[in-house]
Amino acid sequence: MGSISRGAQRSLAAVLLLSTSLLAQTQPERTTAEDHQNMMAQLGIKSLRPGPSGNESSPNQANYDESKANPFPDLPDVLTLQNGTKVTTADVWWKQRRPEIVELFEREVVGRVPRDVPKVTWSVRNANEGMIATTKVIEREVIGHVDNFSYPSISVDIRMSLVMPGVTTPIPVMVMFGNGNASAIEQLIGAGWGVASLSPTSIQADNGAGLTKGIIGLVNKGQFRKPDDWGALRAWAWGASRALDYLETVQSVDASRVGIEGVSRYGKAALVAMAFDTRFAVVLVGSSGEGGAKLHRRNWGEQVENLTGAGEYHWMAGNFMKYGAAEASFGSRNAGDIPVDAHQLIALCAPRATFISYGVPEKGDARWLDHQGSYMAAVAAGPVFRLLGVKDLGTSDDYKTEKMPAVNVSMLDGRLAWRQHDGGHTDGPNWQYFIPWADKQLARGRN
């Protein structure tokens, strides 16, 4: 057979592209209910346990009785290999134990990033000079276009703004999920940091119907996920990593000192980003709760069953729904069956600088988040930080008996930090403590 001419190849490619586009246009819009039910069917789940209510007057209200908060005897040991061998060296952690934990989180909790995710090409759309307080800055609107040649009906353009003070030497940058806190941005710029505000919903929608769209839908060509495919938390974290790819090309950015931050669901995503991408040097995890720094095995406030219901399941891998199953082909499972827990997610950040932040229920940082359960997770992660040669919270290893410090008492002496401020569902009041702590942990002098 003779070779196909270059013109014919282009014509054939155009026909295939049009055919793919026409096929996509005939596919129905997926609803959250349809997507949720499809994953249940894939997993053989007939029914899920309902999650408790955050309304404390509801018959199904969440538990806030500490005597009932710890129904499971122990957490999975962070420094024991799956074959039962104790981890006693950093080399074994990096080569054996850490990969085991990563695999379990990818398979069962947050999902896997596909190997064939298309390339992201970054471009600057606008650049403007301005002032933040007394500092002259340049703000760039940056767009990361994801190559969608293979499925043109779904377009993903990651939106980010980068604000940099005028500097002659590279400086650290904080990537913040969302529009960012104006006061935090002012404090960071004043302290000689740059700020990148990253739009998570430009990466992946925050609902189940969006799973056949966004970056997840683009890679899956508009089809339903498989059980170990990534959820929104992992997709947002992937987007943060692509933002870091761009920052590595900017001369005024010190790419070895880039941080990641988020609050609430984006606090979960910030923790996931830090855990899976070791290029991030520091993280501020704000009020993250269940699916973030809170222990799954704690019966307090929001539970695993809330994350497996139709309102939140899209954050996680499909496989995570197994742990909310009331009736399924594999029987019933609960939080105690999850092979990993939040302390191990925090441990994946070690030995890098990790700051866990919360507010107080009285100001709106609801008891639902389980502040104590998150503190326990941080305590239980401590042995990994110490194994890798840095200081943890400085507590005992007995996470069951360690109690949270009082509000506004800082635990900032180590590479792992904790602080509960007296504000609400925000990390705003902690920035004045985070910035000098981060400068110290990054061995950075102020420019």
Q: pLDDT for 93-109, tens place per residue?
A: 999 999 999 999 999 99
Whether the per-residue pLDDT at 440 is higher than 80: the answer is yes
Q: pLDDT for 376-417, tens place per residue?
A: 999 999 999 999 999 999 999 999 999 999 999 999 999 999
Residue 16: per-residue pLDDT: 45
User: CA geometry: angle at 433 spanning 429 and 438, to 5°?
Assistant: 130
Confidence of residue 24 (pLDDT cuts 50, 70, 90): very low
Residue 231: per-residue pLDDT: 98
Whether the per-residue pLDDT at 23 is higher than 80: the answer is no
Q: pLDDT for 207-246, tens place per residue?
A: 999 999 999 999 999 999 999 999 999 999 999 999 999 9
Confidence of residue 22 (pLDDT cuts 50, 70, 90): very low
Residue 179: per-residue pLDDT: 85
Whether the per-residue pLDDT at 8 is higher than 90: the answer is no
Confidence of residue 6 (pLDDT cuts 50, 70, 90): low
Residue 130 sits at φ, ψ, to 5 deg, of -165, -170
**pTM, whole model, 2 decimals?**
0.94
Residue 141: per-residue pLDDT: 98
Residue 48: per-residue pLDDT: 98
Mean pLDDT of all residues in 324-338:
97
The CA distance from 381 to 379, in Å, is 5
Confidence of residue 33 (pLDDT cuts 50, 70, 90): very high
CB 119 within 8 Å of CB 365: no
Whether the per-residue pLDDT at 266 is higher than 70: the answer is yes
Domain ranges (residues) in the chain: 48-441
CATH number, domain 48-441: 3.40.50.1820
Whether the per-residue pLDDT at 189 is higher than 60: the answer is yes
Average pLDDT, the chain: 94
Whether the per-residue pLDDT at 354 is higher than 80: the answer is yes
Mean pLDDT of all residues in 63-87:
97
Whether the per-residue pLDDT at 5 is higher than 80: the answer is no
The CA distance from 16 to 13, in Å, is 5
Whether the per-residue pLDDT at 83 is higher than 60: the answer is yes
